[in-house]
Amino acid sequence: MSDGGRQTGRAHAESLDLADPLAGCREQFAIPARPDGSPTVYLCGNSLGLMPNTAGAAVERVLEDWASYGVGAHFKEPTPWFSYHEMFRHTGARLVGAKPGEVVMMNSLTVNLHLMMTTFYRPEGRRTKILIEDSTFPSDRYAVASQAQVHGLDPAMAVMVARPREGEHLIRIEDIEGTLEEHGAEIALVMLSGVNYYTGQWFDIERITAAARRQGCRVGFDLAHGAGNVPHALHDWDVDFAVWCSYKYLNAGPGAVGGCFVHERHARDPQLPRLAGWWGNDPRTRFERDRSIEFVPQDGAEGWQVSNPPILAMAPLEASLRIFDDVGMEAVRAKSVALTAYLEQLLDGVETDRFEILTPRNREERGSQLSICVRDDARVLFEELGRRGIVVDFREPDVVRVALVPLYNTYLDAWKFAREFGEVVGVPLVPSDAAVK
Ligand SMILES: *Cc1c(COP(=O)(O)O)cnc(C)c1O
Protein backbone atom coordinates (compact mmCIF):
# COMPACT_ATOMS: atom_id res chain seq x y z
CA MET A 1 0.00 0.00 0.00
CA SER A 2 1.19 3.48 -0.78
CA ASP A 3 -0.14 6.84 0.26
CA GLY A 4 1.12 10.09 -1.18
CA GLY A 5 4.32 8.43 -2.38
CA ARG A 6 5.00 6.86 1.02
CA GLN A 7 5.24 3.14 0.98
CA THR A 8 3.71 2.06 4.26
CA GLY A 9 2.41 -1.44 3.56
CA ARG A 10 3.79 -4.64 4.95
CA ALA A 11 4.23 -6.02 1.45
CA HIS A 12 6.61 -3.19 0.60
CA ALA A 13 8.75 -4.01 3.66
CA GLU A 14 8.81 -7.64 2.60
CA SER A 15 9.83 -6.74 -0.94
CA LEU A 16 12.71 -4.64 0.41
CA ASP A 17 13.86 -7.64 2.45
CA LEU A 18 13.76 -9.82 -0.65
CA ALA A 19 16.02 -7.38 -2.48
CA ASP A 20 18.42 -6.95 0.47
CA PRO A 21 21.93 -8.27 -0.34
CA LEU A 22 22.63 -8.75 3.40
CA ALA A 23 19.41 -10.64 4.12
CA GLY A 24 21.33 -13.91 4.55
CA CYS A 25 23.42 -12.55 7.45
CA ARG A 26 20.49 -12.71 9.86
CA GLU A 27 20.78 -16.52 9.95
CA GLN A 28 24.22 -16.16 11.49
CA PHE A 29 22.77 -14.68 14.68
CA ALA A 30 20.63 -15.94 17.56
CA ILE A 31 17.46 -13.83 17.64
CA PRO A 32 15.84 -13.86 21.12
CA ALA A 33 12.33 -15.33 21.12
CA ARG A 34 9.09 -14.20 22.71
CA PRO A 35 7.30 -16.52 25.16
CA ASP A 36 5.28 -17.96 22.24
CA GLY A 37 8.47 -18.84 20.39
CA SER A 38 8.20 -16.14 17.70
CA PRO A 39 11.24 -13.89 17.27
CA THR A 40 11.33 -10.56 19.06
CA VAL A 41 11.82 -7.42 17.03
CA TYR A 42 15.27 -6.79 18.44
CA LEU A 43 16.26 -3.14 17.99
CA CYS A 44 18.73 -2.92 20.85
CA GLY A 45 21.98 -3.85 19.12
CA ASN A 46 23.41 -0.48 20.17
CA SER A 47 23.20 -1.69 23.76
CA LEU A 48 23.98 -5.38 23.45
CA GLY A 49 24.48 -6.88 20.01
CA LEU A 50 23.15 -10.36 19.30
CA MET A 51 25.23 -13.50 19.52
CA PRO A 52 26.83 -14.83 16.35
CA ASN A 53 25.98 -18.54 16.17
CA THR A 54 29.67 -19.42 15.86
CA ALA A 55 30.54 -17.73 19.17
CA GLY A 56 29.87 -20.92 21.12
CA ALA A 57 32.30 -22.97 19.05
CA ALA A 58 35.01 -20.33 19.46
CA VAL A 59 34.62 -20.43 23.24
CA GLU A 60 34.46 -24.26 23.19
CA ARG A 61 37.78 -24.34 21.34
CA VAL A 62 39.46 -22.38 24.13
CA LEU A 63 37.98 -24.69 26.76
CA GLU A 64 39.09 -27.76 24.81
CA ASP A 65 42.63 -26.41 24.42
CA TRP A 66 42.72 -25.73 28.15
CA ALA A 67 41.46 -29.25 28.92
CA SER A 68 43.79 -30.93 26.45
CA TYR A 69 47.02 -28.96 26.80
CA GLY A 70 46.92 -27.01 30.06
CA VAL A 71 49.73 -24.49 30.09
CA GLY A 72 50.88 -25.87 26.74
CA ALA A 73 47.91 -24.14 25.10
CA HIS A 74 49.82 -20.87 25.35
CA PHE A 75 51.92 -22.08 22.43
CA LYS A 76 49.56 -24.54 20.76
CA GLU A 77 48.85 -23.76 17.10
CA PRO A 78 46.71 -22.66 15.39
CA THR A 79 45.50 -20.22 18.08
CA PRO A 80 48.21 -19.99 20.76
CA TRP A 81 47.07 -17.89 23.69
CA PHE A 82 50.47 -16.19 23.86
CA SER A 83 49.68 -14.29 20.67
CA TYR A 84 45.88 -14.64 20.69
CA HIS A 85 45.32 -10.87 20.45
CA GLU A 86 47.37 -10.80 17.24
CA MET A 87 44.47 -12.60 15.55
CA PHE A 88 42.80 -9.20 15.40
CA ARG A 89 45.74 -7.24 14.00
CA HIS A 90 44.19 -7.10 10.55
CA THR A 91 40.47 -7.54 11.17
CA GLY A 92 40.54 -5.00 14.00
CA ALA A 93 42.46 -2.49 11.90
CA ARG A 94 40.24 -2.90 8.83
CA LEU A 95 37.14 -2.31 10.93
CA VAL A 96 38.17 1.25 11.84
CA GLY A 97 40.32 2.21 8.87
CA ALA A 98 43.66 1.76 10.60
CA LYS A 99 47.00 0.22 9.68
CA PRO A 100 47.93 -3.13 11.19
CA GLY A 101 49.71 -2.32 14.45
CA GLU A 102 47.61 0.77 15.12
CA VAL A 103 44.86 -1.32 16.75
CA VAL A 104 44.92 -3.72 19.65
CA MET A 105 41.98 -5.49 21.25
CA MET A 106 42.34 -5.34 25.03
CA ASN A 107 40.53 -4.62 28.31
CA SER A 108 37.19 -2.83 28.44
CA LEU A 109 36.30 0.53 27.04
CA THR A 110 36.61 2.77 30.10
CA VAL A 111 39.86 1.09 31.12
CA ASN A 112 41.26 1.80 27.66
CA LEU A 113 40.04 5.36 27.91
CA HIS A 114 42.03 5.78 31.13
CA LEU A 115 45.12 4.17 29.63
CA MET A 116 44.94 6.51 26.65
CA MET A 117 44.31 9.60 28.75
CA THR A 118 47.26 8.72 30.96
CA THR A 119 49.37 9.04 27.85
CA PHE A 120 47.61 11.78 25.91
CA TYR A 121 46.12 14.03 28.56
CA ARG A 122 49.17 15.88 29.88
CA PRO A 123 48.01 19.21 31.29
CA GLU A 124 50.81 21.74 31.28
CA GLY A 125 50.98 25.48 31.89
CA ARG A 126 47.90 27.16 30.50
CA ARG A 127 46.88 24.07 28.52
CA THR A 128 44.96 22.04 31.08
CA LYS A 129 41.46 21.41 29.78
CA ILE A 130 39.59 18.43 28.37
CA LEU A 131 36.79 19.17 25.91
CA ILE A 132 33.88 16.70 25.98
CA GLU A 133 30.37 16.92 24.51
CA ASP A 134 27.11 17.51 26.32
CA SER A 135 25.17 14.35 27.19
CA THR A 136 28.24 12.19 26.89
CA PHE A 137 28.00 8.73 28.40
CA PRO A 138 28.32 8.83 32.22
CA SER A 139 31.37 6.59 32.31
CA ASP A 140 33.27 9.01 30.07
CA ARG A 141 32.26 11.93 32.27
CA TYR A 142 33.50 10.17 35.38
CA ALA A 143 36.69 9.15 33.60
CA VAL A 144 37.65 12.65 32.42
CA ALA A 145 36.80 14.24 35.77
CA SER A 146 38.92 11.70 37.63
CA GLN A 147 41.82 12.22 35.20
CA ALA A 148 41.71 15.93 35.99
CA GLN A 149 41.78 15.08 39.70
CA VAL A 150 44.73 12.75 39.25
CA HIS A 151 46.60 15.80 37.95
CA GLY A 152 45.51 17.84 40.97
CA LEU A 153 42.97 19.86 38.94
CA ASP A 154 39.39 20.75 39.77
CA PRO A 155 37.13 19.01 37.24
CA ALA A 156 34.72 21.95 37.36
CA MET A 157 37.50 24.05 35.86
CA ALA A 158 39.31 21.46 33.78
CA VAL A 159 36.38 19.83 31.97
CA MET A 160 34.86 21.96 29.18
CA VAL A 161 31.55 20.94 27.63
CA ALA A 162 30.49 21.55 24.03
CA ARG A 163 26.72 22.10 24.07
CA PRO A 164 23.86 22.48 21.64
CA ARG A 165 22.51 26.00 21.18
CA GLU A 166 19.51 27.06 23.23
CA GLY A 167 16.42 25.18 22.02
CA GLU A 168 18.44 22.68 19.91
CA HIS A 169 19.29 19.01 20.57
CA LEU A 170 22.38 18.61 18.44
CA ILE A 171 25.79 20.18 18.64
CA ARG A 172 26.76 22.20 15.59
CA ILE A 173 30.17 21.36 14.26
CA GLU A 174 30.88 25.05 13.61
CA ASP A 175 30.33 25.64 17.34
CA ILE A 176 32.92 22.98 18.20
CA GLU A 177 35.30 24.60 15.74
CA GLY A 178 34.52 28.00 17.24
CA THR A 179 35.27 26.73 20.76
CA LEU A 180 38.56 25.32 19.53
CA GLU A 181 39.51 28.58 17.87
CA GLU A 182 38.64 30.59 20.92
CA HIS A 183 39.95 28.30 23.66
CA GLY A 184 42.31 25.94 21.80
CA ALA A 185 45.38 27.13 23.68
CA GLU A 186 43.79 26.06 26.98
CA ILE A 187 42.70 22.64 25.75
CA ALA A 188 45.07 19.75 26.32
CA LEU A 189 42.72 17.05 25.02
CA VAL A 190 39.62 16.93 22.82
CA MET A 191 37.75 13.80 23.88
CA LEU A 192 34.46 13.35 22.03
CA SER A 193 32.22 10.48 20.99
CA GLY A 194 32.27 9.37 17.38
CA VAL A 195 28.52 8.79 17.55
CA ASN A 196 26.77 10.22 20.61
CA TYR A 197 24.97 7.45 22.50
CA TYR A 198 21.94 9.57 23.39
CA THR A 199 21.10 11.56 20.27
CA GLY A 200 22.75 9.30 17.71
CA GLN A 201 24.62 12.30 16.27
CA TRP A 202 27.67 11.22 14.27
CA PHE A 203 30.38 13.85 14.52
CA ASP A 204 32.67 14.69 11.64
CA ILE A 205 35.77 13.17 13.18
CA GLU A 206 38.08 14.29 10.40
CA ARG A 207 37.00 17.92 10.59
CA ILE A 208 37.09 18.08 14.39
CA THR A 209 40.49 16.41 14.46
CA ALA A 210 41.88 18.92 11.96
CA ALA A 211 40.50 21.84 14.00
CA ALA A 212 41.91 20.40 17.24
CA ARG A 213 45.33 19.68 15.80
CA ARG A 214 45.56 23.19 14.32
CA GLN A 215 45.37 24.40 17.92
CA GLY A 216 47.98 21.93 19.15
CA CYS A 217 45.47 19.85 21.13
CA ARG A 218 45.64 16.11 21.44
CA VAL A 219 42.48 14.45 20.14
CA GLY A 220 40.82 11.13 20.97
CA PHE A 221 37.43 9.61 20.22
CA ASP A 222 35.17 7.19 22.02
CA LEU A 223 33.76 4.94 19.31
CA ALA A 224 31.47 2.85 21.54
CA HIS A 225 28.57 3.68 19.21
CA GLY A 226 30.64 4.07 16.08
CA ALA A 227 32.64 0.85 15.75
CA GLY A 228 30.73 -1.60 13.59
CA ASN A 229 28.07 1.04 12.96
CA VAL A 230 29.68 3.62 10.69
CA PRO A 231 32.87 3.51 8.61
CA HIS A 232 36.06 5.09 9.90
CA ALA A 233 39.41 6.10 8.46
CA LEU A 234 41.20 6.69 11.75
CA HIS A 235 44.67 6.63 10.27
CA ASP A 236 43.92 9.16 7.54
CA TRP A 237 41.82 11.31 9.83
CA ASP A 238 44.92 11.60 11.98
CA VAL A 239 43.32 11.19 15.42
CA ASP A 240 45.78 10.53 18.22
CA PHE A 241 43.80 7.69 19.74
CA ALA A 242 40.40 6.02 19.84
CA VAL A 243 38.74 3.45 22.08
CA TRP A 244 35.62 1.33 21.75
CA CYS A 245 33.75 -1.61 23.19
CA SER A 246 32.84 -4.78 21.33
CA TYR A 247 29.48 -5.70 22.81
CA LYS A 248 27.29 -3.12 21.04
CA TYR A 249 27.38 -3.09 17.24
CA LEU A 250 30.26 -5.57 17.28
CA ASN A 251 28.22 -8.40 18.79
CA ALA A 252 31.09 -9.95 20.75
CA GLY A 253 29.15 -10.57 23.96
CA PRO A 254 28.56 -8.97 27.35
CA GLY A 255 31.67 -7.22 28.63
CA ALA A 256 33.57 -8.27 25.51
CA VAL A 257 37.17 -7.22 25.09
CA GLY A 258 37.34 -3.67 23.71
CA GLY A 259 39.47 -1.98 21.08
CA CYS A 260 42.14 0.69 21.13
CA PHE A 261 43.71 2.71 18.31
CA VAL A 262 46.96 4.63 18.64
CA HIS A 263 48.11 6.53 15.57
CA GLU A 264 51.26 5.28 13.90
CA ARG A 265 53.04 8.56 14.56
CA HIS A 266 53.14 7.58 18.24
CA ALA A 267 54.05 3.95 17.55
CA ARG A 268 57.76 4.10 18.28
CA ASP A 269 57.92 6.78 20.90
CA PRO A 270 59.17 5.08 24.06
CA GLN A 271 59.15 8.48 25.79
CA LEU A 272 55.37 8.61 25.92
CA PRO A 273 54.31 8.12 29.53
CA ARG A 274 52.07 5.13 29.98
CA LEU A 275 50.91 2.64 32.55
CA ALA A 276 53.05 -0.36 31.78
CA GLY A 277 52.66 -4.09 32.26
CA TRP A 278 54.34 -7.19 30.93
CA TRP A 279 51.97 -7.69 27.99
CA GLY A 280 52.92 -4.33 26.51
CA ASN A 281 56.58 -5.25 26.68
CA ASP A 282 58.52 -6.63 23.75
CA PRO A 283 57.54 -10.34 23.80
CA ARG A 284 61.18 -11.35 23.46
CA THR A 285 62.04 -9.90 26.86
CA ARG A 286 58.62 -10.13 28.45
CA PHE A 287 59.69 -12.73 31.00
CA GLU A 288 63.05 -11.11 31.91
CA ARG A 289 63.92 -11.33 35.59
CA ASP A 290 67.12 -9.32 35.31
CA ARG A 291 66.34 -6.21 37.32
CA SER A 292 68.58 -3.99 35.23
CA ILE A 293 66.28 -4.51 32.23
CA GLU A 294 63.60 -1.90 31.92
CA PHE A 295 60.24 -1.93 30.23
CA VAL A 296 60.60 -1.94 26.44
CA PRO A 297 57.25 -1.18 24.84
CA GLN A 298 56.22 -3.02 21.73
CA ASP A 299 55.74 -0.80 18.70
CA GLY A 300 52.25 0.52 18.21
CA ALA A 301 49.02 0.02 20.10
CA GLU A 302 50.16 -3.36 21.44
CA GLY A 303 52.67 -1.51 23.59
CA TRP A 304 49.80 -0.19 25.70
CA GLN A 305 48.68 -3.65 26.78
CA VAL A 306 49.01 -4.27 30.49
CA SER A 307 47.84 -7.78 31.37
CA ASN A 308 47.60 -11.02 29.47
CA PRO A 309 44.18 -11.06 27.80
CA PRO A 310 41.09 -12.95 29.03
CA ILE A 311 41.12 -15.57 26.28
CA LEU A 312 37.63 -16.91 27.06
CA ALA A 313 36.17 -13.42 26.79
CA MET A 314 38.11 -12.78 23.61
CA ALA A 315 37.01 -15.88 21.74
CA PRO A 316 33.58 -14.53 20.59
CA LEU A 317 35.39 -11.56 19.08
CA GLU A 318 36.88 -13.91 16.54
CA ALA A 319 33.38 -15.03 15.49
CA SER A 320 32.15 -11.46 15.39
CA LEU A 321 34.98 -9.78 13.50
CA ARG A 322 35.00 -12.56 10.93
CA ILE A 323 31.45 -11.58 9.95
CA PHE A 324 32.40 -7.91 9.63
CA ASP A 325 35.41 -8.85 7.61
CA ASP A 326 33.36 -11.06 5.27
CA VAL A 327 30.59 -8.51 4.77
CA GLY A 328 32.70 -5.33 4.86
CA MET A 329 31.81 -2.00 6.47
CA GLU A 330 30.72 -0.47 3.13
CA ALA A 331 27.93 -3.01 2.73
CA VAL A 332 26.95 -2.66 6.38
CA ARG A 333 26.81 1.11 5.99
CA ALA A 334 24.81 0.97 2.75
CA LYS A 335 22.09 -1.10 4.36
CA SER A 336 22.20 0.99 7.53
CA VAL A 337 21.49 4.15 5.53
CA ALA A 338 18.59 2.58 3.64
CA LEU A 339 17.03 0.80 6.61
CA THR A 340 17.21 3.83 8.88
CA ALA A 341 15.75 6.10 6.20
CA TYR A 342 12.94 3.59 5.70
CA LEU A 343 11.94 3.74 9.37
CA GLU A 344 12.36 7.53 9.36
CA GLN A 345 9.83 7.92 6.53
CA LEU A 346 7.35 5.69 8.36
CA LEU A 347 7.72 7.85 11.49
CA ASP A 348 7.44 11.04 9.43
CA GLY A 349 4.18 9.93 7.87
CA VAL A 350 1.91 11.81 10.24
CA GLU A 351 1.75 15.29 11.67
CA THR A 352 1.96 14.86 15.43
CA ASP A 353 3.48 16.39 18.51
CA ARG A 354 3.34 13.06 20.38
CA PHE A 355 6.92 12.29 19.42
CA GLU A 356 9.92 13.78 17.69
CA ILE A 357 13.08 12.32 16.18
CA LEU A 358 16.14 13.85 17.91
CA THR A 359 18.73 12.20 15.69
CA PRO A 360 20.11 14.24 12.77
CA ARG A 361 17.97 14.08 9.61
CA ASN A 362 21.09 14.24 7.47
CA ARG A 363 22.20 10.66 6.91
CA GLU A 364 25.85 11.76 6.89
CA GLU A 365 25.41 12.76 10.52
CA ARG A 366 23.95 9.55 11.88
CA GLY A 367 24.45 5.80 11.96
CA SER A 368 21.87 3.10 12.58
CA GLN A 369 20.17 4.73 15.52
CA LEU A 370 17.06 6.88 15.73
CA SER A 371 16.42 8.48 19.12
CA ILE A 372 12.76 9.30 19.52
CA CYS A 373 11.65 11.76 22.17
CA VAL A 374 8.14 10.82 23.36
CA ARG A 375 5.86 13.39 25.01
CA ASP A 376 4.05 12.07 28.10
CA ASP A 377 4.32 8.60 29.55
CA ALA A 378 7.46 7.62 27.69
CA ARG A 379 8.32 4.91 30.17
CA VAL A 380 4.82 3.42 30.03
CA LEU A 381 5.09 3.31 26.26
CA PHE A 382 8.48 1.64 26.45
CA GLU A 383 7.11 -1.06 28.74
CA GLU A 384 4.12 -1.65 26.49
CA LEU A 385 6.43 -2.06 23.48
CA GLY A 386 8.30 -4.69 25.47
CA ARG A 387 5.10 -6.63 26.09
CA ARG A 388 4.50 -6.57 22.35
CA GLY A 389 7.87 -8.16 21.64
CA ILE A 390 9.65 -4.96 20.56
CA VAL A 391 13.03 -4.70 22.26
CA VAL A 392 14.27 -1.12 22.29
CA ASP A 393 16.16 0.97 24.79
CA PHE A 394 14.85 3.70 27.07
CA ARG A 395 16.80 6.64 28.41
CA GLU A 396 15.39 8.90 31.09
CA PRO A 397 13.45 11.03 30.93
CA ASP A 398 11.70 10.47 27.61
CA VAL A 399 13.90 9.00 24.89
CA VAL A 400 13.42 5.67 23.13
CA ARG A 401 16.47 4.59 21.18
CA VAL A 402 15.91 2.35 18.18
CA ALA A 403 18.82 0.73 16.36
CA LEU A 404 18.27 -1.11 13.10
CA VAL A 405 21.34 -3.28 12.84
CA PRO A 406 22.12 -4.14 9.21
CA LEU A 407 23.56 -7.58 9.93
CA TYR A 408 20.41 -8.98 11.50
CA ASN A 409 17.51 -6.53 11.32
CA THR A 410 15.01 -6.54 8.48
CA TYR A 411 12.77 -3.97 6.83
CA LEU A 412 9.91 -5.97 8.30
CA ASP A 413 11.40 -5.35 11.79
CA ALA A 414 11.26 -1.62 11.06
CA TRP A 415 7.69 -1.92 9.80
CA LYS A 416 6.59 -3.91 12.86
CA PHE A 417 8.19 -1.36 15.13
CA ALA A 418 6.31 1.44 13.35
CA ARG A 419 3.03 -0.48 13.62
CA GLU A 420 3.36 -1.16 17.37
CA PHE A 421 4.86 2.23 18.21
CA GLY A 422 2.08 4.01 16.28
CA GLU A 423 -0.59 2.00 18.07
CA VAL A 424 0.91 2.60 21.48
CA VAL A 425 1.27 6.37 21.04
CA GLY A 426 -2.17 6.53 19.43
CA VAL A 427 -0.90 7.82 16.09
CA PRO A 428 -1.21 5.02 13.52
CA LEU A 429 1.80 5.03 11.20
CA VAL A 430 1.11 2.10 8.91
CA PRO A 431 -2.16 0.71 7.57
CA SER A 432 -3.90 -1.44 10.15
CA ASP A 433 -4.06 -5.01 9.00
CA ALA A 434 -5.63 -7.35 11.51
CA ALA A 435 -4.66 -10.39 9.47
CA VAL A 436 -0.96 -9.82 10.00
CA LYS A 437 -1.06 -9.21 13.73
C1 LIG B 1 28.72 1.68 26.34
C2 LIG B 1 29.60 2.82 26.66
C3 LIG B 1 30.53 2.76 27.72
C4 LIG B 1 30.62 1.55 28.61
O5 LIG B 1 31.91 1.44 29.17
P6 LIG B 1 32.53 0.04 29.61
O7 LIG B 1 33.85 0.40 30.11
O8 LIG B 1 32.54 -0.86 28.42
O9 LIG B 1 31.66 -0.55 30.68
C10 LIG B 1 31.34 3.87 27.93
N11 LIG B 1 31.26 4.96 27.14
C12 LIG B 1 30.37 5.04 26.11
C13 LIG B 1 30.33 6.27 25.25
C14 LIG B 1 29.52 3.98 25.85
O15 LIG B 1 28.64 4.08 24.86
DSSP per-residue string spanning 353-401: SSEEE-S-SSGGGB-SEEEEEESS-HHHHHHHHHHTTEE-EEETTTEEE
Res 134: pLDDT: 94
Q: How many of the other CB atoms lie within 10 Å of CB of 183? A: 14
The per-residue pLDDT for range 149-201, each reduced to its tens digit, is 999 999 999 999 999 999 999 999 999 999 999 999 999 999 999 999 999 99
How many residues comprise the chain?
Answer: 437
Q: What integer is the mean pLDDT of 293-305?
A: 93
* Domain's final residue, options 299, 326, 353: 326
Residue 182 sits in the same domain as residue 287: yes
CA–centroid distance, residue 222 to ligand 1 (Å): 8
Query: What is the C-alpha to C-alpha distance for residues 206 and 329, in angstroms, rounded to an integer?
Result: 18
Residue 95 sits in the same domain as residue 225: yes
Residue 207 sits in the same domain as residue 165: yes
Res 3: pLDDT: 54
Q: Is residue 132 classed as helix, strand or coil in its secondary structure? A: strand
CA–centroid distance, residue 112 to ligand 1 (Å): 10
CA–centroid distance, residue 113 to ligand 1 (Å): 10
Asked if residue 103 is part of any domain, the answer here is yes
Asked if residue 163 is part of any domain, the answer here is yes
CA–centroid distance, residue 286 to ligand 1 (Å): 30
Mean pLDDT of the chain: 95
Asked if residue 432 is part of any domain, the answer here is no
Residue 96 sits in the same domain as residue 193: yes
Residue 38 sits in the same domain as residue 69: no
CATH label of the domain that carries residue 347: 3.90.1150.10
Q: Are 407 and 25 in contact (CB under 8 A)?
A: yes
Res 437: pLDDT: 43
In this predicted structure, the answer to whether residue 337 has a pLDDT above a threshold of 90 is yes
CATH label of the domain that carries residue 247: 3.40.640.10
Which has the closest alpha carbon to 207: 229, 185, 175, 230? Answer: 175
Residue 26 sits in the same domain as residue 107: no
| Cβ(199) – ligand 1 distance below 6 Å | no
Res 316: pLDDT: 97
Asked if residue 431 is part of any domain, the answer here is no
* Domain's final residue, options 301, 326, 351: 326
The per-residue pLDDT for range 226-284, each reduced to its tens digit, is 999 999 999 999 999 999 999 999 999 999 999 999 999 999 898 899 999 999 999 88
Q: Are 46 and 369 in contact (CB under 8 A)?
A: yes
Query: What is the C-alpha to C-alpha distance for residues 272 and 266, in angstroms, rounded to an integer?
Result: 8
Q: Are 226 and 193 in contact (CB under 8 A)?
A: yes
Q: Whose CA is nearest to atom 14 of ligand 1?
A: 224
Asked if residue 36 is part of any domain, the answer here is yes
Share of the chain above pLDDT 70, in %: 97
Q: What integer is the mean pLDDT of 318-345?
A: 97
Q: Among 55-69, 287-301, 305-319, which stretch is predicted with the lowest mean pLDDT?
A: 287-301
| Cβ(222) – ligand 1 distance below 6 Å | yes
Asked if residue 127 is part of any domain, the answer here is yes
Residue 106 sits in the same domain as residue 181: yes
Residue 283 sits in the same domain as residue 367: no
* Domain's final residue, options 326, 350, 383: 326
Q: Are 224 and 245 in contact (CB under 8 A)?
A: yes
Residue 417 sits in the same domain as residue 316: no
Residue 217 buriedness (CB in 10 A; 0-12 / 13-18 / 19+): buried
Share of the chain above pLDDT 90, in %: 91
Could you tell me the residue range of the domain that residue 268 belongs to? 58-326
Residue 218 sits in the same domain as residue 234: yes
| Cβ(279) – ligand 1 distance below 6 Å | no
Q: How many domains does the chain have?
A: 2
Say which amino acid occupies 194: G
**Any alpha helices (H) in 194-310, and if so which ranges?**
205-214, 234-237
DSSP assignment of 30-63? -PPBPTTSPBPEE-BTTTSPPPBTTHHHHHHHHH
Residue 62 sits in the same domain as residue 42: no
Ranges of beta strands (E only) in 194-341 are: 218-222, 241-244, 259-262
Say which amino acid occupies 57: A
CA–centroid distance, residue 140 to ligand 1 (Å): 7
Residue 350 sits in the same domain as residue 394: yes
Say which amino acid occupies 250: L
Asked if residue 392 is part of any domain, the answer here is yes
- In angstroms and rounded to an integer, the radius of gyration of the C-alpha atoms of the chain is 23
Asked if residue 437 is part of any domain, the answer here is no
